[in-house]
Chain A
Amino acid sequence: MIAVIETGWQWREPMWFLLSFLVVVVLVVRWRQRPSVAVAASPMWQSFEPALPTTWCQRLAGMPVWLHAAALLLMVAALARPVFVESEPPARLGRDVLLCFDRSSSMAALDLDPAATRLTVGKQLAAEFLARRRDDRLGMVTFARYADLVCPPTTDHAAVRELLGSVQLVDAEGPEDATAIGAAVGMAANLLQRSYATGKVIVLLTDGEENVATAGAQNQIAPLHAGQWCRDHGIRVHAIALGRGEQSADGTWRAVDTSAIQQLAKISGGRFFPAPDAAALRSVYAEIDRLEAVQFAEPGVRVIEWFAAPTLLGLLLFLLAHCWRHSRWGVMP
């Protein structure tokens, strides 16, 4: 439901107008205390000189009281808080987006672009994707055998891009060379579940299949379990399967089993995207960008306070009344 916002001039706290009654009381007290009119206009004097005309000075003798009345009422009006309310365009609601980036040695394959590895192409297109997510908080987790927190969600997008640029492959056949998708998504979900953002999204980029949380392995997070955890915490996972698969010794490509990450994406409410080449990967990022389009808050308002104007005018009238009293037109105090 869209809230109806009233714009224009408003009194924010009109209850203060009740003080006007007190102002009337003060004016009555003041009026009763007023000095007798100038000697020339007093009844005693007039009994001697009844024909003497009334001057402007005598007619305006009560002016300071009226000026005081106006000044007090202006200040009461200031207390009632006059404001001008303007509508403002709705604020853009950012999401928390976490990149889960595979850096296992298989990301060195040159099937996306003959001149660049999967990692390089992935980083380049991910940087373009991140540059379009201006309203989001961005973060990054990289993984091979272990998941590493590279950057918690932040609005410092330049820092994220720098950190993305510094992601490097693990050594081929080294102790870290494996693919722990479940652990990485689990770590990303752990980061996002603490966030209060309106939308939480993980973009998983991998070229392989889970080979750490296998059937016999203990204390490892399987992709399916990570997906369930994401679903429970309102986190969508969009999974991208990068490349044409694994290259065998004879140079042919063997498709990898992506069923686990497909399930992971589906169970969390996200989508699975195969990206066999760079163009496909670019269109995948564009599609994710569309799916996670920016949301808008309800239209906002800008409140401009105007209490100062009646306050200053009231003070000016007070000063004017004072000057009047002590000028040649004033009544002898």
Chain B
Amino acid sequence: MTWAVQPPSWWPVVLLLPVALGFGIWLARRSKRQLRQDLGLREAILCGARSFVRTRAALAGLAVFAIGFALLRPVTPGKEAQLAPDVVLCVDVSRSMAAGDGEPTRFDTVRRQVHALLQEGIGSRFALLAFAGDVQRISPLTADREAIAWLLDELAPGAIGFGASMAGGTDLGKAIEYAAQSLARVGTVGELLLLTDGEDFAGTAERAAQAAIEQGHRVHCIGYGSVAGSKIVIERDGEQSYLQDSTGADVITRLDVDSLRRVAVAGTGSFVPGHTENALVDLWRRQLVPFSAQRRLAASDTDVLQRFAWPLLAGLLLLMLRMCLPERSR
């Protein structure tokens, strides 16, 4: 069950509860010492033997813990709670994404996985960016997942649909900056998913990821392709061939795992290899949704149910039980 706490502005007061508990225990011990000093062996004869000393202390400790927890305001989602995250999909459309170490290409794998994610992402808003050496907004943040899927299908390596092309290379840093801005503009925080083979030519991605987390976003990297590398398939006049460099040699592109892992660490997100079939959906289920639910509940920007009554009740019953235990057996 998803839950979170909504600490009040005066939450440091709650930290005084263990201090008060400690003071109470010290006071009781001092009093006990004094009594022993005054009465000596006559204490048990006059007052009866002490009983439940540790149990009473333990009950007091548990009660203070439960009541302290209640004061931090635990909440669970209400009926109309919106817990799903806002997600910016940054899709690498550089030519290297046409390499044949995907199924059949890296870009086809991305497309298939994003479609699966869009099917799964009920309640979420998605934005779509295409990037290579430059960044292009394909769709701003929208709840219309079908439209995102439709717009994604217009993309291809080296092109962003309708015949438009992009600058070559891969600038992960620029994509992260643009994605963070597009979330900030609608006053939200969310998850940035970089779907790429990780060849960060500009080398600014880590710095951009750190800037993104300062704005409250997280950056995740999903790496496509293989470390061994692959040639880039291009189509010319209906015939397929391999992209060649200026010397006439076939260009080999490799998945840069280390670079992507560093970016994900800098962005407090995860690096996920994209070769597993459900890479995106698994990331969604295991990390994006639980984190977003916690964040939205704690920030109280959604419908919540107050759950302080149960720990408070537990604390109250523990205190009552403590009061019912006799202090002396006579």
* Set B17, B64, B148: member contacting A152, Cβ < 8 A: B148
Complex-state Cα separation, A77 to B141, whole angstroms: 45
Contacts of B46 in A (CB 8 A): 39, 332
Contacts of A209 in B (CB 8 A): none
Q: Which of A43-51, A153-161, A216-224, A232-240 is the interface stretch?
A: A153-161
Complex-state Cα separation, A76 to B312, whole angstroms: 9
In the assembled complex, the CB of B166 is this many whole angstroms from the nearest CB of chain A, namely 15
B13 pairs with A159, CB closer than 8 A: no
B47 on interface, CB distance cutoff 8 Å: yes
Q: Which of B102-110, B287-295, B313-321 is the interface stretch?
A: B313-321
What range describes how many residues of A lie at the interface? 35 or more
Contacts of A323 in B (CB 8 A): 24, 27
In the assembled complex, the CB of A86 is this many whole angstroms from the nearest CB of chain B, namely 16
A299 on interface, CB distance cutoff 8 Å: no
B47 pairs with A35, CB closer than 8 A: yes
Complex-state Cα separation, A308 to B241, whole angstroms: 71
A318 pairs with B185, CB closer than 8 A: no
Contacts of A153 in B (CB 8 A): 142-144
Complex interface bits, A24-42 against B, C-beta within 8 A gives 1, otherwise 0: 0010011001010001000
B144 pairs with A159, CB closer than 8 A: no
Within 8 A of A (CB), among B98-150: 127, 137, 139-144, 146-148, 150
In the assembled complex, the CB of B157 is this many whole angstroms from the nearest CB of chain A, namely 21
Q: Which A-chain residue is minimally distant from B68 (CB atoms)?
A: A315
Q: Which B-chain residue is minimally distant from A308 (CB atoms)?
A: B71
Complex-state Cα separation, A193 to B23, whole angstroms: 65
A319 pairs with B24, CB closer than 8 A: yes
Q: Contacts A23-B320, A312-B71: A149 and B312 contacting too (C-beta < 8 A)?
A: no
A311 pairs with B147, CB closer than 8 A: no
Q: Contacts A332-B35, A333-B327, A333-B328: A311 and B144 contacting too (C-beta < 8 A)?
A: no
Complex-state Cα separation, A177 to B139, whole angstroms: 25
A132 on interface, CB distance cutoff 8 Å: no
B278 on interface, CB distance cutoff 8 Å: no
A76 pairs with B328, CB closer than 8 A: no
* Set A29, A163, A312, A319: member contacting B324, Cβ < 8 A: A29
Q: Which A-chain residue is minimally distant from B144 (CB atoms)?
A: A152
B323 pairs with A156, CB closer than 8 A: no
Complex-state Cα separation, A125 to B34, whole angstroms: 88
Within 8 A of B (CB), among A141-172: 148-149, 151-156, 158-160, 162-163
Q: Which A-chain residue is minimally distant from B183 (CB atoms)?
A: A156
B8 on interface, CB distance cutoff 8 Å: yes
Complex-state Cα separation, A160 to B141, whole angstroms: 11
In the assembled complex, the CB of B142 is this many whole angstroms from the nearest CB of chain A, namely 4
Complex-state Cα separation, A256 to B30, whole angstroms: 100
Complex interface bits, B301-317 against A, C-beta within 8 A gives 1, otherwise 0: 00000101100110110
Q: Interface size (B, Cβ < 8 Å)? A: 49
A72 on interface, CB distance cutoff 8 Å: yes
Complex-state Cα separation, A325 to B56, whole angstroms: 15
* Set B73, B316, B320, B327: member contacting A305, Cβ < 8 A: B73
Complex-state Cα separation, A33 to B326, whole angstroms: 6
Contacts of A311 in B (CB 8 A): 67, 70-71, 312
B28 on interface, CB distance cutoff 8 Å: yes
B312 pairs with A75, CB closer than 8 A: yes
Contacts of B31 in A (CB 8 A): 325-326, 330, 333
B319 pairs with A72, CB closer than 8 A: yes
Complex-state Cα separation, A151 to B148, whole angstroms: 9
* Set B67, B142, B148, B316: member contacting A76, Cβ < 8 A: B316
Complex-state Cα separation, A79 to B306, whole angstroms: 11
When A and B form their complex, which 8 residue pairs have the shortest distance between CB atoms, in order from nearest?
A152-B147, A159-B140, A156-B140, A326-B31, A152-B144, A152-B142, A154-B140, A154-B142
Residues of A whose CB lies within 8 Å of any CB of B are: 13, 16, 19, 22-23, 26, 29-30, 33, 35, 39, 68, 71-72, 75-76, 78-79, 81, 139, 148-149, 151-156, 158-160, 162-163, 191, 194-195, 305, 307-308, 311-312, 315, 318-319, 322-323, 325-326, 330, 332-333
27 contacts between A and B (CB under 8 A): A26-B323, A35-B328, A39-B46, A71-B319, A72-B320, A75-B67, A75-B312, A75-B315, A79-B309, A81-B306, A81-B309, A151-B140, A153-B144, A154-B140, A155-B141, A156-B141, A156-B185, A158-B185, A160-B140, A195-B143, A311-B70, A311-B71, A312-B13, A312-B71, A322-B27, A325-B31, A333-B31
Residues of B whose CB lies within 8 Å of any CB of A are: 8, 13, 17, 20, 23-24, 27-28, 30-31, 35, 46-47, 64, 67, 70-71, 73, 127, 137, 139-144, 146-148, 150-151, 162, 182, 185-186, 306, 308-309, 312-313, 315-316, 319-320, 323-324, 326-328
- Give me 7 other A-B pairs in contact (C-beta within 8 A), A81-B309, A162-B137, A326-B28 excluded: A16-B309, A72-B320, A79-B316, A152-B144, A308-B8, A311-B67, A311-B312
